[in-house]
Structure 1
Amino acid sequence: MTLGQKKKREFPTAFTVLFIILIFAAILTYIVPSGSFSRLTYDDTTREFIITNHNDETQVIPATQSVLDDFNIQLDLAKFEDGSIKKPIAIPGTYVQIEQQPQGLIEVIKSPILGTMDSVDIMIFVLILGGIIGLVNKVGAFDAGIGALSKKTKGKEFILVILVFALTTLGGTTFGLAEETIAFYPILMPIFLISGFDAITCIAAIYMGSSIGTMFSTVNPFSVVIASNAAGISFTNGLVFRAIVLVIGSIITLAYMYWYTVKVKNDPTKSLVYDENKAIKERFLGDYNPDIIIEFTLRRKLIILVFTLAFIILVWGVAFGGWWFEEMSALFLGIAIIIMLLSGLSEKDSVNTFISGAADLIGVVLTIGLARAINIVMDNGMISDTLLNYSINMVSNMNGSMFALAQLGVFSFLGFFIPSSSGLAVLTMPIMAPLADSVGLSRDVVINAYNWGQGLMSFITPTGLILVTLEMAGTTFNKWWKYIAPLMGIMAIYSIIALIISTFI
């Protein structure tokens, strides 16, 4: 660099962005008063309610409908007895401000460690996945498969985008496909790159597919179903309208994605990751050379088949088998052993290749732990309930469409701090849903506001999956923001219009 030449400023990595947000969260614990709602839990073994107050003092009382009525919890006892509501729910009118719980330097330094310990299940899954990717790459199965696929999709490349988006949207709207999509990037990114798309398009097809599906959930048990149960209504209320909104929202998103791909195809320099393309291709394509034909042998076909079957089994397990990361990790570990046996590599070479592949995703793993640290700091600072109480006070005196729109804003705001859809549902619905009664609206309007508000924020929430995804893809948040900001604005306007319509249905 010559004297006087300015060094190009680079956007901070995911680690730095998350650490800045972690510090900001810690500062909030000094500014936002600490507070807590009392919570009610149902013990299905003793058929009793356990009330826990802000001092963690518990009271055990018989589980009856009259007790729920006394606590102004407008839910049927059957919802607890049949297991529809399992998590503790906030009791309306019990918020109290407590002694401030500021999170200082020691707590901030410890939080990434605690976040790592709390996220070890997903970390193990990612490391095993990395090991499998290393094995599949080592035997040339990816390169051979990509070469064969690129010939068949020539001239019909956008069908790949539609297919991936449709499948991930379907997963999002039915069973909340989210964290599981981390497994898709190593296999799909090379295919997208060979097909002429940039990394942003691949991220959008996978991440926005699951995000749009989750945002406009129809039967997702982790959002709309649990929220409806906590609101005291059936999840089928408003189901047809939600399905229509999902289809239109998906078409809008696909149209935006198509516009971007055409722009980049006409002028590759318009790609938001143009300056990173070389590094991204080296990361995902390695030594792949389209001019060198790698034979798609029976061995390589079997390995790709086994690898693909793993994803089909994974989707089945999550959707119908009640699986979580323990079962998913076990599945992929078994797949890794099978691929080792099929690879033809020596025992030493296959094990070292697996370890090397896992090491390539260490950065992704550490990002997951740091993202969880932010939630830990806010939880320990006891400010989430205070933010909820502020939100309740803000919307309680509104009426009609203004109430619905305010709810959308509230859930967008709360979704930034509480990325868990089920956690936000059980915390807010017992209090928020009855407010709809007082303004003459159906409670499913609140469910829609909850779904769409939190879902909209998931496009960019750092404590969610986006920074983990970007770390996996090898790009930065500023590139994603430039891509997603216009679409986020479009989807916000669309959600507002749909929500207003829902108040008249």
Structure 2
Amino acid sequence: MKKLKFPTAQTILLIIAALTAVLTWVIPSGKFDTLTYNKSENKFIRTSLGKTETLEASTETLKQLEIKIPLEKFTNGDIWKPISIPNTYKKVEATPQGIVAFIKSPIKGIIEASDIIFLVLFIGGLIGIMNYTGAFDAGISWLATTLKGHEYVLIILVTTLIAVGGTTFGLAEETIAFYPILIPIFLAAKYDAMVALGCIYIGSSIGTMCSTVNPFSAIIASDAAGINWTTGLTARIVMWAIGLTICIIYILRYAKRVKNDPTKSIIYDQKEDIEALFKKNISSSIKLTPKLTLILTAFALCFIVMVAGVSLLGWWFEEMIAVFFVGAILIGIIGQIKEYTFVDTFVKGAGDLLGVAIIIGIARGVSVLMDDGQISDTMLYYASNVTNGMNKGVFINAMLYIYGGLSFFIPSSSGMAVLTMPIMSPLADGVGVGRELIVNAYQYGMGLFAFINPTGLILASLAIVKVGYDKWLKFVMPLVIILVIFTMIVLTVSAYL
């Protein structure tokens, strides 16, 4: 009898989508009223069951709606998405999602996620051009020689830098570009691909989980909770530092085991296939010439420009895609690649990541089913009622798990913040804890679940590395349990301080 194989990422997501469609037949449909700020007219627009009402953009309006967010947070653009209005939940006519909706959901998801999908495809094209020039191979050979005997430095450096990006500007989707680049380096250092995956994905996850100045989570959530984003900042910085240290130690211990004995690798049975995929052209005899050094410099500048643009200039997917496209052309010119060869290589490189792009689209399709079935607000409404009558410690830990659960259906950090904070943050007042703890519980709950959330980025990341979700769970679950216990202790202590 053949051994049963764990389903592919695409199959897992389609199963989740099917279960979500079934939930729309079980969970009642409902909606909160929403409030949006219209900058051009300096007015609030209240939407209730499809009907809109224009309101004065004033502090008095916010007070009447029981929204404790300063007016300037709307007028200066800090809050640009519709926010839920407290105590306005209404049941609506059920809109269960049937077989046709289920079939359409991946297509709708791909359309909705077109921005990140194009980013992935253009990154694939750039990687294809880089592989053609041989610059990667020369750089990896040089790095392997330079770090000989000190390969652990690579783990500390990569995990820390990515965690810094996560905590400052929400480095997450962008990390998909790093896997094809860094995995060969880790393999050359005698580690397995799981170490590279851990450094990149865990670094990003712990960084975004403990966001400090990240405008897409810490700042927008604090604004939506009606508090200054610096409130609770010190605690989040300490949490980031300790959490990152735990993660690095965890990865280092696994990496040391694998380096000493490759059979200890969780993905040892895939060793030859993965090395064939990522080390096929690597040769220690390749010299790092001035031309190849210039190509690597141009490649590195793509990421420096992208990070600077996102964190300082408010860039988003269009600008990031343009950076990688221009970078590919520049590298093609430096490498003196013929026009036909350039186009063919770029398209093939993009094609290599097409499977990843489809996974991202299917994952977004789950959110589409939730929205079309109108059950997201219902789940939020019942989740907010669960905490009634709880003491401080139980309350804040319940919020941690509520946010972890909600993030399965709402993986967007900014979307979660504006949907839930106006509803959840006032609950802190009744229990007697600071609203910054709700912001922390939101970040930590989403962040912890992000380590394993199949509707997040993990399945797309695993698809690049060709590693199964079951093997990732085997690798990461002990770390997740450690972080959950640590987080619960921190939140409990914080609630009583």
Note if 1:374 corresponds to 2:389: no
Which one of 237, 252, 263 corresponds to residue 257 of structure 2?
Answer: 263
Q: How does 1:351-500 map to 2 (within 5 A)?
A: 351-500=343-492
Measure, in 1, the Cα distance between the counterparts of 2:340 and 2:81: 47
Tell me how far 1:399 sits from its aligned partner.
2.6
Tell me how far 1:346 sits from its aligned partner.
2.4
Tell me how far 1:471 sits from its aligned partner.
0.5
Measure, in 1, the Cα distance between the counterparts of 2:307 and 2:420: 29
Measure, in 2, the Cα distance between the counterparts of 1:244 and 1:348: 53
| Structure 2 counterpart of 1:110 | 104
Tell me how far 1:89 sits from its aligned partner.
0.9
- Counterpart code for 2:92: I
Q: Secondary structure at the match of 1:233?
A: coil
Tell me how far 1:267 sits from its aligned partner.
2.1
| 2:208–2:447 CA contact under 8 A, matched in 1 | yes
Q: How does 1:215-294 map to 2 (within 5 A)?
A: 215-290=209-284, 293-294=285-286
Tell me how far 1:465 sits from its aligned partner.
0.5
Measure, in 1, the Cα distance between the counterparts of 2:382 and 2:55: 30
Measure, in 2, the Cα distance between the counterparts of 1:165 and 1:9: 34
| Structure 2 counterpart of 1:18 | 13
- Counterpart code for 1:217: S
Q: Which runs of 4+ in 1 moved over 3 A?
A: none
Q: How does 1:15-54 map to 2 (within 5 A)?
A: 15-53=10-48
Measure, in 1, the Cα distance between the counterparts of 2:231 and 2:462: 36
Q: Quick one: percent identity of the two aligned structures?
A: 49
| Structure 2 counterpart of 1:3 | none
| 2:141–2:283 CA contact under 8 A, matched in 1 | no
Measure, in 2, the Cα distance between the counterparts of 1:8 and 1:440: 54
Note if 1:349 corresponds to 2:341: yes
Tell me how far 1:65 sits from its aligned partner.
1.8
Q: How does 1:138-217 map to 2 (within 5 A)?
A: 138-217=132-211
Measure, in 1, the Cα distance between the counterparts of 2:65 and 2:114: 38
Number of residue pairs aligned between Structure 1 and Structure 2: 497
Q: Secondary structure at the match of 2:211?
A: coil
Tell me how far 1:132 sits from its aligned partner.
1.6
Measure, in 2, the Cα distance between the counterparts of 1:179 and 1:335: 19
Q: Secondary structure at the match of 1:51?
A: strand
Cα deviation code 1:105-146 (max 9, x no counterpart):
111111111111111222222112111211211221111111
Using the TM superposition, name which of 451-460 and 346-355 deviates more. 346-355
Measure, in 2, the Cα distance between the counterparts of 1:42 and 1:362: 38
- Counterpart code for 2:116: I
- Counterpart code for 2:260: N
Cα deviation code 1:291-341 (max 9, x no counterpart):
xx0122222111111111111111111111111111011111111111111
- Counterpart code for 1:182: I
| Structure 2 counterpart of 1:8 | 3
Note if 1:313 corresponds to 2:305: yes
Measure, in 2, the Cα distance between the counterparts of 1:158 and 1:19: 38
- Counterpart code for 1:8: K
Q: Secondary structure at the match of 2:40?
A: coil
| Structure 2 counterpart of 1:88 | 82
| Structure 2 counterpart of 1:134 | 128
| 2:83–2:418 CA contact under 8 A, matched in 1 | yes
Using the TM superposition, name which of 148-157 and 56-65 deviates more. 56-65
Tell me how far 1:287 sits from its aligned partner.
3.1
Which one of 66, 78, 84 corresponds to residue 60 of structure 2?
Answer: 66
Unpaired segments ≥5 residues, structure 2: none
Tell me how far 1:8 sits from its aligned partner.
2.4
- Counterpart code for 1:117: I
Measure, in 1, the Cα distance between the counterparts of 2:377 and 2:162: 33
Using the TM superposition, name which of 152-161 and 40-49 deviates more. 40-49
Measure, in 2, the Cα distance between the counterparts of 1:105 and 1:25: 12
Measure, in 1, the Cα distance between the counterparts of 2:408 and 2:111: 23
Measure, in 2, the Cα distance between the counterparts of 1:211 and 1:399: 30
Measure, in 2, the Cα distance between the counterparts of 1:466 and 1:149: 27
| Structure 2 counterpart of 1:301 | 293
Measure, in 2, the Cα distance between the counterparts of 1:262 and 1:19: 37
TM-score (norm 1): 0.96
Q: Secondary structure at the match of 1:42?
A: strand
Tell me how far 1:69 sits from its aligned partner.
1.6
Cα deviation code 1:369-410 (max 9, x no counterpart):
111111111111111101101101101322311111111111
Q: Secondary structure at the match of 2:45?
A: strand
| Structure 1 counterpart of 2:315 | 323
TM-score (norm 2): 0.98
Measure, in 1, the Cα distance between the counterparts of 2:288 and 2:66: 65
Unpaired segments ≥5 residues, structure 1: 1-5
| Structure 1 counterpart of 2:50 | 56
Q: Secondary structure at the match of 2:496?
A: coil
| 2:396–2:495 CA contact under 8 A, matched in 1 | yes
Measure, in 2, the Cα distance between the counterparts of 1:87 and 1:124: 23
Measure, in 1, the Cα distance between the counterparts of 2:232 and 2:349: 46
Measure, in 2, the Cα distance between the counterparts of 1:372 and 1:277: 31
Tell me how far 1:175 sits from its aligned partner.
0.7
Tell me how far 1:201 sits from its aligned partner.
0.9
Measure, in 1, the Cα distance between the counterparts of 2:72 and 2:339: 56
Tell me how far 1:347 sits from its aligned partner.
2.1
Cα deviation code 1:388-441 (max 9, x no counterpart):
011011013223111111111111111111101111111111111111111111
Q: Secondary structure at the match of 2:228?
A: coil
Tell me how far 1:364 sits from its aligned partner.
1.0
Measure, in 1, the Cα distance between the counterparts of 2:424 and 2:446: 15
Tell me how far 1:173 sits from its aligned partner.
0.6
